[in-house]
A and B are shown apart, each in its own frame.
Chain A
Amino acid sequence: MMSEAQAAQSAAEVPSGLAALSTEGLNVWYGTSHAIQDVSLTFPERSITAIIGPSGCGKSTLLRCLNRMNDFIPGVRITGRVAYRGEDIYAPDVDPVELRRSIGMIFQKPNPFPKSIYENIAFGLRINGYRGDLLPRVERSLRQAALWDEVRDRLRDSALALSGGQQQRLCIARALAIEPDILLMDEPCSALDPTATARIEDLITELKASYTIVIVTHNMQQAARVSDYTAFMLNGRLIEFGPTERIFTRPADERTEAYITGRFG
């Protein structure tokens, strides 16, 4: 558990008033299993926050709380507060469907729809009320995801014919097309080869200028390369949070240091 001093230190390192997303005393139970224990975290605006930790520490669970994707799991119980721009997203009058239009998610295994490349992106546009000629928007999001040049001539081909890395970029394009505020990425590169991984990491770094990004990764080097802030979790608890540079060079907690130096994980 972080001491008062450490908590104060971490909080001070996040510019106040610029939290796009934050959690306060978040607890999650799957049945009787206490998966997330009292996690309070802020995700600063227009930056990349990485959540690292060993398998089973609750990183993905935490991520899924941020856009209420855990609502779909039967028997889940969530207490505490998750604030998006100051408003608690678990308040009874909040519509999760609306919420997910502002907070997009990229999954670990690329999951394009079994439709054409064009349709994959057009679907999100249509259900979010975009009308008229969707092609310019489709093109723009494919350019944002650095995929346009590779697929411009075959937009009507099946998305499933793309390579793994291309499919993941398509999923990113699909999420970007509806102009979200925040992007949540759940180990987006773990199913990809190193070349595809590198391309997507470059893409993520570019996207930082316009979006707030939270990325869960089990790859510490990736976290060190890509993120501005890092949160380290262990057994459902937040152990330490701070600027990536400090976490990786002068970790305050000995468990953080043990994980980062590879003594366990």
Chain B
Amino acid sequence: MRAPGGPGMRRRRRAAAVALQALALGAVVVGLGVLVVLLFDVLRDGAGTLTWTFLDSFPSRRWQQAGFKAAIFGSVYLLVLVAVISFPLGVGAAVYLEEYARRSAMTRFVEINIANLAAVPSIVYGLLGLGVFVRTLGLGRSLLAGALTMSLLILPVIITAAREAIRAVPASIREGAYALGASRWQVVRHHVLPMALPGILTGTILALSRAIGETAPLIAIGALTYVAFVPESVFDPFTAMPIQIYNWVSRPQQGFHAIAASGILVLLVVMLGFNALAIVLRARMQRRSQW
């Protein structure tokens, strides 16, 4: 039976389909194209100065001698601390909310607020960190203060990712375990968490890769921009890669802009590395848990 409307309508429908396809393709081209152009630009500016000496030296007032070492170490230490603080807190909160808390107005309130917190601009976290960790708790502009601030920043993201992963564990598995006389904690520890782990890890790694690139909160708590040492303890001052890059870009000399581009390349490599790690880990764990 032929649809009413005749050949004119068929032609119009076809034209609409083609137009939509072209639009979608165009969006991909534009999006990817911009990224490729940016990448090219950074590579062109920074590849020349990306040397081993650059990676191994401390900053200097002369761009030819300035290096990224303090920033790299600072970022890595910061990241390790943030992971150690935020992972147990985030997973613990997610387990409590999903497995133990009963649905009530209170838990709904908490849920809404966690979603809101994930959307709060990072500078606000920086100011919070400044007030609470740097001043009130007297930690000063230390690695610890920075790590605590960044942990707060990514905690809502980890909690949300962990909750999704935990919720994805089928009810049939839980029921099977309960029916054998398992307590709630035994079900969580032996079945829910192992099955949710790929999702939790992926979410955590992605949250950490975001943390490594955040600049505003670290500036707010006062991460130094001229650090000519590697932090020895968590109470030492520090700098981080985005801070260092920001500092160099603000200088007038062209040479500093070049090494800023090199710094950006290092940061990009680290972030891409993290994301690749998340993908690989997820694929391997999914293969294992599906067996």
**Which A residues form the contact surface with B (CB < 8 A)?**
67, 69, 72, 74, 97-101, 104-105, 107, 109, 111-114, 123-124, 127-128, 158, 160-161, 171, 174-175, 178
Residues of A within 8 A of B183 (CB): 97, 127
Which secondary structure characterizes the binding site on chain B? helix
Further 9 A-B residue pairs, CB within 8 A, beyond A114-B291, A123-B182: A69-B175, A100-B178, A113-B177, A127-B181, A127-B186, A128-B181, A158-B291, A174-B180, A175-B180
Q: Within the complex, which residue of B102, B103, B176 is in contact with A107, where a contact is CB–CB below 8 Å?
A: B176
| Contact of A114 with B173 at beta-carbon distance under 8 Å, contacts A127-B186, A158-B291, A160-B291 already known | yes
Quick one: closest A residue to B169, CB to CB? A114
Which A residue sits closest to B288, measured CB to CB? A114
Question: A83: shortest Cβ distance to chain B, in Å?
Answer: 19
* Inter-chain contacts of A98 with B (CB < 8 A): 181
Which residues on the A side are within 8 Å of B175 (C-beta)?
69, 72, 107, 111
A113→B179 contact, CB < 8 A: no
Residues of A within 8 A of B178 (CB): 69, 72, 100
Using C-beta atoms within 8 Å of the partner chain, give the interface range for chain B. Answer: 20 to 34
How far in angstroms is the closest Cβ of chain B from A129? 10
Nearest-neighbour CB distance to chain B for A247, whole angstroms, equals 28
Interface centre among B102, B175, B181, B190 (most CB of A within 10 A): B181
Cβ of B290 under 8 Å from chain A: yes
Query: Is B195 interfacial (CB-CB < 8 Å)?
Result: yes
Query: Which residue of A has the minimal Cβ distance to B289?
Result: A114
Over the window 157-189 of chain B, the binary record of Cβ atoms lying under 8 Å from chain A Cβ atoms (1 yes, 0 no) is 000000000000010110111111111001000
Which residue on A lies nearest to B195, using beta carbons?
A: A114
10 nearest A-B residue pairs (beta carbon): A101-B181, A105-B179, A111-B172, A124-B180, A158-B291, A100-B181, A111-B176, A97-B183, A127-B186, A127-B182
Task: Pick the most buried of A97, A107, A109, A174: most chain B CB atoms within 10 A of its CB.
Answer: A97
